[in-house]
Structure 1
């Protein structure tokens, strides 16, 4: 029995070469490539302008490891959460977040997560595997279709803030973004894509060296090393001095402002000392700060800070000419808000 390869794992050139090697014309590869990416074909039978004989040949040699939206939940605020079943039965989640002016896809990059952030439901799942480029692309395509269906407009933005650490699946994330931004794919501008990382200095520098065009967000949560390590234990291996150096390197090459994602928790990072440390860290590289409403995943140590603490952050950041906004969570009633993705449907 032939071990069939996922056809979306090969390039257009390789696809053209396959057809030539099998006695067909190279342009047939272009046709099939368009079906796979621009039209999002789920099966070879969908390829209606390709002959039955050619479809049979493709079926004999390849598979399309397409995702399936197992369940879709709609929040009272219009947020949509998809439980996405992969070809091997594993499940990830992705979210459509609508506002008056935009619709944003929040997509996953790993099944589970490589890291151990204590406040995040996903981190309680072991990392089972990285997602393939096609599986990442499919999440975006599904949400684009839902955006058109429910909001009468195509998807406008993408954030890699779902399950997993994108920079621990770097090659596949980059390949997926290349497809998403290609005119042969979804044709989205890379400026409308944000990759959020928990802060891996070596990979941030690699992104700069690779001349990526998307935006960078960093899940920061504290400008004090020992506090950050309490929140995100893995960060002991990546001290703030190293993170700072990598971000300065990023800005020097990419000339792109950084977004810091920052949750304020009562009794953890809600002191004046914590505020001052963030202000200091923000002065190293041009940036803006999103103060994110926390969504408790249990009754443990991580609980939403008081309004007074949030207001202190806003006041001090603004006083120091640092753009800061409070981001209210969407989709809390369906566990689709920040930190809540945990594939409960699996």
Structure 2
């Protein structure tokens, strides 16, 4: 077990203290800090405005466990899926979704997931660990580099909709967003960031208390407790009433945008009765948008997506009742990069650190 500390877990002030206590000028800390966050250095050797001896000194005292891209797959629609190899051999996946006017990064917050949602490939994995804030930052920085290389355009949006439940890795998710939005980092607007949750009422309220500035999406997928508990076991301990109360509390505290995610499953949640139940919940929360998502098949589940006519009928009914809803067509299906398909099919190599 290494006793060296991850240098990215030090604040700028802590770095300054380290340098002055070791006979170096305090301004060196700012140089290193810029390399770590603004320039996204992945090794001490890249910090070329430091002397070789100072770089070696840092190498001897700290680790810099930046994540690496393992494999990359490109979909016929331009979507790019990456496997990211972590310092301990674990793998997570992240996706770059380019459109005419957006470059969206979909990032993971955990290795695996503990929630066991029946329609989600990640839900059939065990949760191995949370990602550290700097690992989440790495995902975004690497996807930003990929966007620039592919199109010459920087990321415009970030969604925490990859592997894992972000609100069960609360502190690291918030700290990663703090770094992503910092002028010393990627300087992105928090209004361009959406955190998606399967519904942890207590933590949604905490987001309100912490007065976060990013947007929130609830993975709803069924609008009554019986059906929702069938496909999302977390609903047993976080009922729809609790979630409605928590979302209203979040909005009262922050005023931030709230959206619903609703995957349509054939003969399960696509009837007029299901639409009526969705409308009822929509009217109890200041929801900006309902994203109705086409289902993407996974190996372990028997769900099917409705045919186009059934989807159109469902959407027309929502529109008739003045629900702001849109169908979100899935991208990257041919490379298992679409919503619910991130399964980390590669073999991980666990190492001891």
Alignment of 1:194-273 (within 5 A): 194-273=194-273
Distance in 2 between residues matched to 1:108 and 1:301, nearest whole Å? 25
Alignment of 1:137-156 (within 5 A): 137-156=137-156
| 1:152 Cα deviation after fit | 1.5
The residue aligned with 2:55 is 55
Distance in 2 between residues matched to 1:55 and 1:256, nearest whole Å? 43
The residue aligned with 1:319 is 320
Task: Indicate conservation of the 8 Å contact 2:229/2:236, yes or no.
Answer: yes
Distance in 1 between residues matched to 2:7 and 2:69, nearest whole Å? 20
Distance in 2 between residues matched to 1:62 and 1:239, nearest whole Å? 45
Distance in 2 between residues matched to 1:17 and 1:322, nearest whole Å? 55
User: When the two structures are aligned, how many residues end up with a matched partner?
Assistant: 346
Task: Indicate conservation of the 8 Å contact 2:118/2:301, yes or no.
Answer: no
User: In the TM superposition, what whole-angstrom CA distance separates every residue of 1:85-108 from its partner, at most 9, and x where no partner exists?
Assistant: 000000000000011001100000
Task: Indicate conservation of the 8 Å contact 1:279/1:316, yes or no.
Answer: no
The residue aligned with 2:68 is 68
User: In the TM superposition, what whole-angstrom CA distance separates every residue of 1:48-87 from its partner, at most 9, and x where no partner exists?
Assistant: 0111221121111101011110101111111000010000
SS at match of 1:196: strand
Task: Indicate conservation of the 8 Å contact 1:247/1:285, yes or no.
Answer: yes
| 1:2 Cα deviation after fit | 5.9
Gaps of 5+ in 2: 348-353
TM-score by length of 1: 0.98
User: In the TM superposition, what whole-angstrom CA distance separates every residue of 1:190-225 from its partner, at most 9, and x where no partner exists?
Assistant: 000000000111100101111111110010011100
Q: Please report the RMSD computed on the Cα atoms of aligned residues, expressed in angstroms.
A: 1.2
Distance in 2 between residues matched to 1:308 and 1:300, nearest whole Å? 23
Distance in 2 between residues matched to 1:36 and 1:120, nearest whole Å? 34
Alignment of 1:22-41 (within 5 A): 22-41=22-41
Task: Indicate conservation of the 8 Å contact 2:38/2:184, yes or no.
Answer: yes
The residue aligned with 1:185 is 185
Task: Indicate conservation of the 8 Å contact 1:114/1:168, yes or no.
Answer: no
TM-score by length of 2: 0.96
Distance in 1 between residues matched to 2:284 and 2:321, nearest whole Å? 13
SS at match of 1:143: helix
Gaps of 5+ in 1: none
The residue aligned with 2:284 is 284
| CA distance 1:160–1:2, shift in 2 (3 Å) | closer
Task: Indicate conservation of the 8 Å contact 2:110/2:169, yes or no.
Answer: yes
The residue aligned with 2:303 is 302
